[in-house]
A and B are shown apart, each in its own frame.
Chain A
């Protein structure tokens, strides 16, 4: 930044532009020059110097005493001293002849050659900016002054001067070490001071704002080395002459041999005496460094360097270096990391920061806190995966059976389990009485300590992920109500649910949405309907119907997401949530400034009259009814026509309704004598549906007949749930209080094919078929959802749709 480098003037003595040369030259010969001209000069300079000093004081910021002493520094100071002393005793060197051999200064300062501009530049510099400059000058002056001092001492031995110069030197050296005091460059450079002095008088405040012109002039070129070219281009102008010369020379060479003009002569030269000089140095320590550059190491370094993320790699370096320094346990680990450090540093050579990093001892902040580790997301994720893997190990045979995969025998496991299975097979094959009997095998059960003691009220599969099961826990009876629970279980973890949602009151109905697969609708015992988003980890429902004006006032016994393809109006298109509740309303819920519902149907009480539908008729006086609504307990939409649905009431009536009419029922089917707990259309035959009720019966209906086609009764227990098998047309499952039954109409219409009794003291409350495998889930009143696999259930010709219709047909025929 400073072009006024002192080193330059050394060589550019002749440059008038850079005036610094002058004082440097002058520095070489301080104190000793006492030529008349110089003396005059001295006086003048000293005089000016004094002025200058005061001026400098005026200018300077720090007026330290040391400064004052230093003002006497360097040649000018020495000059001044000498000039002060000059009137008293001039320094003169006289040889024995009395000749004045006082050394003259090599260079006479030429005050006439002042260039004010230059000094102006100089003056306008801040002292701080030229401080480095000054240091170099002071250094010079120190050395020179030391020379001077020595010289003076040796020559004169005059104590005062030498002492003075010594003291000057000392003070100078002190001054040089003291960085804080501001120095003016003018102090050391007398000539410049002279100019500066002139300039200073001129420069006042207003001049400071003037534009200063800087003139840079090129100095003469110094030739340090000149190697002329030894070849010339063929096209150049000299080519001809060069060629001629070359040819002449070859001629000459040819003529040389045998020519008298040329004589060969030898000479002997003195060889310089050689001297051996030995130098000893310290042994160069060699260290071997090795590294293994792995494929991935190179890839890592390439990625991190290419993205400019040097920080990332330095962080890893930091961490690794920190570990190296902290002496971790496994030595190989150190080696590994060292290797990676070295390899990465050898490969990525660009960053300078890395070079800085290596010898750097990093504090242990990079070592992660154990607590942080335990709370980190990755740790949770790993724990999650680990748990699933452990459970997979435990449940592997069961899960394989569920998925209908062949179970692998663990070759190292104790063979105690094997013979039992073998024997059973042997037994069954020994029987040879026909195909092996269908049976249920219990695989596992979903339960944890949260759910024990709770009654399973409903279960639903997720529509998109068939491994996800939502189970709602809530009491049916009114008297022992407690806060309900919804657990989302995954097949991969039967011991702990993935999501747990607690609800204020018992959960009585659940359904997963088909369009947005993470929405779960929950119906509760107090009539609230809430939807949860199972993807998020939030424990609160997305939306709740408790603020709705038209909310249900009685337990919601069923909720279902129904897709209306043929919409009544524009808004009804898409999926809607339909619920039936004990207050006798079937409502359709939608989101419009909050959850709101409209009533699709009000289930009016109908008299138990087979022959007539009496809607809105006045009741007979003898019957005093509490309400005109019949509590609805279940409903089911037609599988193909989403406008038609069946609703079952507590009276035992099944009403066929349509979404288009919300005043009247289309049909009423009356057969049951007790509350209907479930109605379900057959997924294969679109006309057939099943209903089960607490009157111990299950009835099979056909849509167009008002009496049930078939009735099934096995025990004298209320049937809580019935469901068609999604795989076989003639199979359905039913659960009553004491046992679970699988009926196969193709096999028998009188008795269930498979019966599985419940554990004592536990009531079975709900049933769900698995869609892709032949497994059945049964929920009970103890909070367990057991998974059973249907074994040996052959899908022969006895399970087709045609068979079902045949059965129905034959039954009807037999009835008639």
Chain B
């Protein structure tokens, strides 16, 4: 999809970053104190992925998504919510496949959303497409328990 370099910079300077005091509103990209956001983070680059996902002692679900993908916008928040319910036993990493194409290609992502379950650096489970809350809960529990 097209990008306008100027606008992207503009959008990144929104009130969120410029807000004066008080806790900032919970948002996927900003720091926040809400439990859900502590367990979820956006992958910054390849080495960040290595540190926080591959080398993480805790199991991590990796949500490969794209800005242009409608179903991703539904699955993302739903998965975040279910991850939060697990009270820190599993973490969630979000990877935008256009920003991190190498990573997406390395993990053979074709369609989005693709969610990988990773434990000790290995992919132990995965699914593609939307799932409902019960299915997600089962997926996460299996990852934690196994």
User: Are A and B genuine complex partners?
Assistant: no
